[in-house]
Amino acid sequence: MAGELVLGVDIGGTKVAAGIVTSAGEILHKIRVPMDSKHGSAEALGCVYQAIDLALESEDGPFISHIGVSSPGPLDPRTGMVLATPNIPCWVDFPLRESVERKYGLPTRLDNDANAAGLAEAIWGAGAPFGSVFYVTIGTGVGTAIIFDRQVYHGRSGLAAEGGHMTVDMHGKVDCACGKRGCLESLASGPALARRMMERLSDGTTIYAEEVVNKWKQGDPVASRCVAEEIDFLAVWLGNIVDLLEPEVIVIGGGLGTRLSDEFDALRVRLARWSINGRAADIPIKPASYGEFAGIAGSAALWCSHSAQLVQPSLGKR
Ligand SMILES: [Zn+2]
C-alpha cells in the first residue's frame, strides 16, 4: 500500500463524506454530500456514488487504487452486506461492498463506522504507539472498536465490539434504541446527557449535549453534576472493559467524547475503582486525533490493516 491513495467513504444517516487518504493517514480532499436514506436503496446508493464520483474527479482521483467504506452497523465485513441499520432503513441485507466494487472496478472493503474510526486511530492517530487499543466514540450514540496489532477484532460473524450496548444498569429506566435496557449508550450518549440535564431542570426547555458541556465549562453546578454522572457511567463501564481486555490505551472520540477530555485524568483514576486490575489507572486515556474526519480516515485504514483474510477476493475489474 506504500505510496498508494485510498478513497475513504464515510456513510451516515444524513450525509456521505469522502476523502482521498495517503498511506500516512493524511486526508487530501474532503467531500460531503447529503444522504437520502428515506426513499429507496438505489437512491441511497446513488448518494454514495455521487460522493465517490466527486472524489474521483479531483486532481488526485486518478491515483486512487482502493476504496474503503464505513457505514452504520450492524453489517458483515466479511460479506460486505449491510444487515439492517436504523440510520439507513432502506438498506436491509444490502450488498454495499459488492455494489461499489462492481461500479468502480476498484477493490473495496466495508466495515462499521466505529471499527473503521478506531482502526484509523490505531494505525495513524492517538493509538498508534500501542499494540492494543480500545476505541470509544461518544456522540449521538456510543460506538466502540477493539484493535489488536492493527487488526479490528470482529468476533464470530463480524458483530463483535458493540460495547456501547453493554448493560450497565439492568434496572435502568430508559430503553436503548437497540431494544435492550440500561445500555451504556442509553445512559452516556449525548442525548442521554442532555436528558439528565432536562430532568434536573424540569422547566420544559429543550437542551442539547453541547449546551450541557458549555454550561459545565462555565461552572454551572447542575451541568457539572450531570457531567460528573457521565464520568461515573463511563468509569463503571471502562472498569469492566479493562478487566476484560486490559488494553494498552483507551482512545475516546466523538463529538461529546473529545469535549470531555479535561476529565480523562479523573476518569482514569475513577475507573480503577471499578476494576480488579491493580494497574488499571496506569492505562492512558487519550482523545482521538481525527475528530469529524475519523470516518474518512478509518474507511481508508481498512486497507492498511492486516485483516485481508476477512475480505472476499476483489472482483478484479479495473
Ligand atoms: Zn443498546
Distance 178 CA to ligand 1 centre (A): 4
Helices (H) and strands (E) in the chain, counts: 10, 13
**Residue range 196-207: average pLDDT?**
94
The rounded distance, in Å, linking the Cα atoms of 314 and 268 is: 43
Q: What is the pLDDT of residues 227-241, one digit of tens each?
A: 999 999 999 999 999
b (16+ CB within 10 A) / e for 292-310 = ebbbbbbbbbbbbbebeeb
- Asked whether the beta carbons of 264 and 252 are under 8 A apart, the reply is yes
Q: What mean pLDDT comes out for the span 191-199?
A: 96
CA 228–ligand 1 middle distance (angstroms) = 22
pLDDT band at 305 (very low <50, low <70, confident <90, very high): confident
Q: Record the cell numbers describing residue 158, joined without a space.
A: 463480524
Find the 260 Cα to ligand 1 centroid distance in Å: 22
Report the percentage of the chain scoring pLDDT > 90. 89
Q: How confident is the model at residue 306 (pLDDT cuts 50, 70, 90)?
A: low
Tally Cβ neighbours within 10 Å of residue 146: 23
Reported as half-sphere exposure (CB side, CA atoms, 13 A), residue 205 has a value of 10
Ligand 1 center from residue 175 Cα (angstroms): 8
In the reported structure, the alpha carbon of residue 141 is separated from the centroid of ligand 1 by a whole-number distance in angstroms of: 9
Would you say residue 318 has pLDDT above 70? no
* Grid cell digits, residue 85: 441499520
**Residues 5-31 pLDDT 10s:** 999 999 999 999 999 999 999 999 999
How many CA atoms are closer than 13 Å to the CA of 81, on its beta-carbon side?
A: 10
Strand, helix or coil at 281?
A: helix
**CA–centroid distance, residue 91 to ligand 1 (Å):** 20
Partnered with residue 251 across adjacent β-strands are: 135, 286
Q: What is the per-residue pLDDT across 259-304, written as a single tens digit (0 to 9) for each? A: 999 999 999 999 999 999 999 999 999 999 999 999 999 999 999 8
pLDDT at 98 over 90: yes
Q: Which residue has the higher pLDDT, 81 or 311?
A: 81
Q: Cα(229) to centroid of ligand 1, in Å?
A: 19
Q: What are phi and psi of 293, to 5 degrees?
A: -100, 10
Distance (Å) of CA 315 to CA 34, 99, 105, 249, 312: 29, 11, 7, 37, 9
| 102/52 Cα distance (integer angstroms) | 13
Q: How far is CA 147 from CA 25, 151, 178, 285, in A?
A: 17, 5, 24, 15
**Per-residue pLDDT for 75 more than 90?**
yes
Q: How far away, in angstroms, is 142 Cα from ligand 1 center?
A: 9
In three-state secondary structure terms, 268 is helix
- Of 86, 135, 112, give the one whose Cα is nearest residue 254: 135
- Mean residue pLDDT of the chain comes to 93
By the 8 A CB rule, do 58 and 18 touch?
Answer: no
User: Ligand 1 mean position to 179 CA, how many Å?
Assistant: 6
CB 163 within 8 A of CB 171: no
CA of 137 to the centre of ligand 1 (A): 14
Query: Ligand 1 centroid vs 185 CA: distance in angstroms?
Result: 6
Across the range 165-169, mean pLDDT stands at 94
Cell 471502562 locates to 238
Distance 71 CA to ligand 1 centre (A): 18
The sign of the dihedral angle between the CA atoms of 225, 226, 231, 235 is: positive
pLDDT at 7: 98
| 245 vs 277: CA distance, rounded Å | 11
Distance 52 CA to ligand 1 centre (A): 32
Under 8 Å between Cβ of 7 and 29: no
Say how far apart CA 192 and CA 226 lie, in whole Å: 10
**Which amino acid, 68?**
G
Look at residues 232, 226, 145 and name the one whose alpha carbon lies nearest to residue 190: 226
Q: Please report which confidence band the pLDDT of residue 172 belongs to, taking 50, 70 and 90 as the band edges.
A: confident
CA of 138 relative to ligand 1 center, distance in Å? 13
Identify the helix (H) or strand (E) that includes residue 128: none
The set of residues, in sequence order, having a beta carbon less than 8 Å from that of 232 and lying 6+ positions away, is: 270
Strand bridging mode 108-112 / 64-71 = parallel
Strand partners, 252: 136, 287
